[in-house]
Structure 1
Amino acid sequence: MVTSTPGRPAWTFLTNHAHVLLAVARNPDALVADVAAQVGVTPRAALSILRDLEEAGYLVRTRRGRRTHYEIRPHQHFRHPSTAQHEVDGLLDLLGRERPSSLTAERPPPPPTAREDAP
């Protein structure tokens, strides 16, 4: 049985690995503690996930002075067989960046279609 803690749902559509990847896509220079806080995991868990993502080829980690910079490797495919034909880039494009306000406005209605009974 899956139970939830106060303020957190019992399950989500995305794994913690996906949430960490999205956090890094939003801020490639984020501290591990910041990524952990954003995802809702411990810093140790976030670091473990970052290592998993690096070992699997989804990101590259480089040191810049005392900081770590993460670079997402493009065109990596999902790992699950049912979605392996899709690249992770689509998820990052959909959820990884803040959308400009012009894109979040209500969509205009579609243009009228030609009716068959029209002359």
Structure 2
Amino acid sequence: MKLITLYILLAFLANLVLPWWVITVAGLFLGLFYKEHAGKAFGMGFAAMFLLWGAQALYIHLANDGILAERIATMLNVGSPLLVVLITGLIGGLVGGLSVMTGSVIAATKDSAK
């Protein structure tokens, strides 16, 4: 739980001034530091970024009365604007999960090589 909270906070603050992909760097370092098993690390990273990106997409959706999400849903031919919010959360979750898992696997590889 501490990893999820720290990851959400770190990624949110970093995304205020840096590009979207900085969440991968943050996740990599958190994965190196916390050294969880690969599956658990992926789940924690996925949950953190799914919550963060999903909440941010939902906020944007509600703040502009759904205009942006509706146009993107039309452009992608997915139907519902809320499905766009869900897809955004899933993409963020996958990126976050893979980055934390990569960090934990690197840490495990370094530990086993000693």
Structure with larger Rg: 1
Which structure carries more strand by proportion?
Answer: 1
Q: TM-score range by the shorter chain?
A: under 0.3
More contact order relative to length (CA 8 Å, sep ≥ 6) = 2
